[in-house]
Amino acid sequence: MMNFTFTRKTRETMNDKNSTTLYTRRNFLTAGAGLAATAAFSPYVIGRTKAKDKLGVALVGLGYYSTDLLAPALQLTKNCYLAGIVTGTPAKAEAWKEKYKILDKNIYNYQTFDQIANNPDIDVVYVVLPPSMHREYVVRAAKAGKHVWCEKPMAPTVADCKAMIEACEKNKQKLAIGYRNLHDPNMQAWMKLAKEGTLGKPRLVNCAAAYVDNRTTHWKQKKDMGGGVMGDMGVYSIQGARHAIGEEPMLVTAHFFNNRPEIYHEVEETSMYQMHFPSGALSNCTASFGINSNFLKVNYEKGTLMMEPFSSYSGNKGTYSGGVINIPVPLNNQQANQMDDDALAIMQNKPLIAPGEEGMRDIKVVEAIYEAAKTGKEVKIG
């Protein structure tokens, strides 16, 4: 049993299924506590990842997504493994230590987080916290000399995204955004249709990413934590249009709807928005916490693509004029596939499928959508 001593109270808000809770952060790491050195300047740290067959991953924040999806997925990965955790809840630390046989020296809280710089077991820090906390922990991880994976949405603002990208570049660390859907071979197949022009140019996209969320105190319902549907589900419908057309949008119009103001009084519940692309292609998109809908329909000059679902955990299937998109590649777990791809890119020093710049592209559109919904006018995307 680890020795826990009180430090100060702070709020660790995670992707919990039920609510946002106040936790007491305790200084429970007793092994390996030294001064937090800047590991980015250590020759051993810089060369470390190239010599490994697998990368050690530390999950920061042990809410629903880490507990139910990422940790189980890390048991299936080939290029990385669960090496450590960061949590402000001692009981969770004990439970994870027992379940996944995590060493005491690889367990951190938010006060001891920077000491991760001295730990060669950990190569990647995966930030799985509310969006309002992403910038802080991505920057701290980069300064500690660790590669970073950051869950989506990347951050609440473009300014945050830029700071995160700059911190990773300055410290020579790779930054990947947790867009597991971009790693799905089915999505990659329909992205190729736009690039190859199989059905001519795309002219119109209709896309929806939506589900019913009845929670009341989760970060998704809280503005100061980066909540709202646009960051969470909106990035999927934005990507659906962007990648189906193969261009970046020029301008947007948008409207927000809150049918349950008792729950969604700080942030938008439903967003319906339109994007205009340089080629003249248009998109009509929906993101919602009050509607069940997940599809992508693309009208090309010579045919049609229909994907339903198009961004599901269980896999994405569809048809198009001329064939069926259902890639015969085993994909048992999207999160495992995503982390394996990103780990291999780090080890081979190759481009990431979803680097920080990809996350920032979506947040640029999100910011424009908020402005368009507020003003009722067309907004150009800078």
Per-residue pLDDT of the chain (382 residues), as tens digits, is 333 332 333 333 333 333 333 233 333 333 333 333 333 333 333 334 446 899 999 999 999 999 999 999 999 999 999 999 999 999 999 999 999 999 999 999 999 999 999 999 999 999 999 999 999 999 999 999 999 999 999 999 999 999 999 999 999 999 999 999 999 888 888 888 888 888 999 999 999 999 999 999 999 999 999 999 999 999 999 999 999 999 999 999 999 999 999 999 999 999 999 999 999 999 999 999 999 999 999 999 999 999 999 998 877 888 888 888 765 555 678 999 999 999 999 999 999 999 999 999 999 999 999 999 999 999 999 7
How confident is the model at residue 352, as a pLDDT? 98
Identify the pLDDT of residue 28.
Answer: 32
Given 92, 143, 146, 152, the catalytic residue = 152
- Got the DSSP string for 158-206? HHHHHHHHHHHHHTT--EEE--GGGG-HHHHHHHHHHHHTBTB-EEEEE
- CA 287 from chain centre, in angstroms, equals 16
May I ask the CATH class of domain 5-179?
A: alpha beta
Identified catalytic residue from 236, 264, 273, 370: 236
Give 311's contacts (C-beta < 8 A, 6+ positions apart).
Answer: 181, 187, 209, 236, 240, 294
Query: What are the distances in angstroms from CA 376 to CA 64, 261, 271, 273, 318?
Result: 36, 20, 13, 11, 35
Contact 156, 360 (CB under 8 A): no
Longest dimension (CA), the chain: 67
Report the alpha-carbon distance of residue 365 to residue 373 in Å, rounded: 12
Angle at which helices 158-170 and 356-375 cross, to 10°: 170
Candidates 3.40.640.10, 1.10.10.10, 3.30.360.10, 2.60.40.10; CATH matching 185-330+356-380: 3.30.360.10
Q: Which residues contact 2 (CB under 8 A, 6 or more apart)?
A: 28, 29, 30, 90, 93, 94, 97, 104, 107
Structural Rg of the chain based on CA atoms: 21
**pLDDT for the residue 187:** 87
Q: What is the distance between the alpha carbons of residues 373 and 156, in angstroms, rounded to a whole number?
A: 16
DSSP state of 296: E
Instruction: Please give the structure tokens belonging to residue 316.
Output: 């994405």
* Domain boundaries for CATH 3.40.50.720 within the chain: 5-179
Give the C-alpha separation, 351 to 335, whole Å: 18
Fill in the amino acid letter for 340. Answer: D
The three-class DSSP label of residue 379 is: strand
152 tagged catalytic: yes
pLDDT at residue 355, rounded to an integer: 98
For the chain, give every residue range classified as CATH 3.30.360.10: 185-330+356-380
How far apart, in whole angstroms, are the C-alpha atoms of residue 106 and residue 129?
Answer: 19
Output the pLDDT for position 26. 32
- Cβ atoms of 311 and 153 within 8 Å: the answer is no
Q: Round to whole Å and give the CA distance between 253 and 321.
A: 30
CA distance 146 to 269: 36
pLDDT recorded at residue 39:
36
Cβ atoms within 10 Å of 27's Cβ, excluding its own: 17
Rounded distance, CA 261 to CA 244, Å? 34
pLDDT in the model for residue 51: 62
Output the pLDDT for position 330: 55
